[in-house]
Amino acid sequence: MSDDIRTLTTRLAEEPTSLAFLELAEALRHRGQLDAARKVARGGLSRYPGLADAHDLLARILSDQGDLAGAFDAWADALRLDPMRTGSLKGIAFLYFRAGDAVAAIDHLQRAAEADPDDESIAQALARVRRESRAMAHRTAPAPAPDPEPVTVAEPPPVEQPDPSSPFAELEGGHALVLVDANGLRLAGSLPAPDGDETGDRVAAQLAGVSREAARATRLLGLGTWQSITVESPDAHFVLVRPTGETVLLAAREPSLPMARVALVAERAARAAKSWLERVQ
Amino acid sequence: MTDAQTVLDRVTRVTRVPGVRGALVASALDGLVVAEQLMDGVDGRAAAALAGSLVGRLVRTAEGAGRQAPAFVQLRAERGSILAAPCPDDLVLIAVVGPDANVGLARLEMLDAASRLA
């Protein structure tokens, strides 16, 4: 056992409630003692479940171990506590890119760039992902895994299964769909504006509590449980449905697609979102 | 600004569509009812306040997505729907319809009415 690990272990033994577990788990991770690092990190998390640093650390350890689903969940937990945490945004972006979802990867890297515009590694990662995704779009053969250099995590093994972190990954027409929780946070999906800007988070924030509001309206008017909201705008058709009691899903399409067809897209996406939520919760 | 009788006439036209239980025009800002034509049992003030608030939220949602403000909204529920058509001057035309209502016809009447309530 190296000196620093021995010192940190002693410190943690003397003060089990201290934050020394963060340094110890990190030191163990750097030395490749991943099982030990994971145990220390999980132990610390049981005492500090609200500490974003601890979730982020666990995510990096799990990523090193090749547990991509576990790493995704841990980074998602970190982002719930600290939505603009650049390390976690980069980590999730890396996982999305590994899974072939360049749009989601770019979305997370853009958020990271907004949070820390001075971090050149984020801009480089963004440029690299964009370049790779363009190249992948032009290739007919299966694409090789992208270079993980922009992200600070170790390269996990290739993903062979469909991305478990995206409810819409296998859905035909699975674009312009946003899954939102009751607090207005985006759980999955994206919603590009006509100019290409990503608006998913902004839209999600506006939809906080929409389900409760719709429920109150239909109850007071004796109409029973609400089922969907359709919104016609001159340049878009929107359909809102609720996959579960705590979430809403927004599907957006161009107005040339009849509203009834948009509603079908939304219902199909809601079913996919519901089964995804059951898997990840 | 449209006069009160014209507003009421437009609302009445909407209520003639089969299955429509009532219609009203309200301020989208504070939910105050400007004109209403409702069947017994339909709470106009509740419809105005709640639908107005919901429409306001959906307007902001559309704007947040970089899209134009909605022209028509349908909140569908088990036993009917609430229909809303934003009008000029921060007014909103709202209709409460039953499950068997001709929503397509109600929509056309409402869009026509909303365009004339300037």
CATH number for the domain spanning B34: value is 3.30.450.30
Which chain B residues touch A210 with a CB distance below 8 Å?
Answer: 54, 57
Residues A81-103: tens digit of each pLDDT: 777 788 888 888 888 777 777 77
The whole-number pLDDT of residue B32 equals 84
Residues A213-268: tens digit of each pLDDT: 888 888 888 899 999 999 999 999 999 999 998 899 999 998 888 888 888 889 88
Give how far Cα A239 sits from Cα of A56, A261, B114, Å: 35, 10, 22
Mean pLDDT is lowest, of A167-181, A258-272, B55-69, for: A167-181
Which chain B residues touch A218 with a CB distance below 8 Å?
Answer: 75, 77-78, 82
Higher local confidence (pLDDT), A161 or A181: A181
- Cα A9 from Cα A175, distance rounded (Å): 48
The whole-number pLDDT of residue B103 equals 93
- Cα B27 from Cα B108, distance rounded (Å): 21
ipTM: 0.93
Would you say residue A159 has pLDDT above 50? no
Domain A177-280 is classified in which CATH homologous superfamily?
A: Dynein light chain 2a, cytoplasmic (3.30.450.30)
Q: How many CB pairs under 8 A join A and B?
A: 118
Residue in A177, A211, A221, A238 to test binding to B, most B beta-carbons within 10 Å: A221
**Among A254, A269, A257, A231, which Cα is nearest to B75's?**
A231
> Which residue of chain B is at minimal alpha-carbon distance from A226?
B77
Give me A266's structure tokens.
Answer: 């939304």
Which structural domain, as residue segments, surrounds residue B64? 4-116
Residue-wise DSSP of B25-55: EEETTT--EEEEEE-TT--HHHHHHHHHHHH
Helix, strand, coil abundance in chain B, percent, nearest 5: 40, 30, 30
* DSSP bridge pairs for B25: B35, B93
Q: Do B70 and A216 touch (CB under 8 A)?
A: no
The whole-number pLDDT of residue A242 equals 92
> Which residue of chain B is at minimal alpha-carbon distance from A205?
B61
| Confidence category of residue A164, pLDDT binned at 50, 70, 90 | low
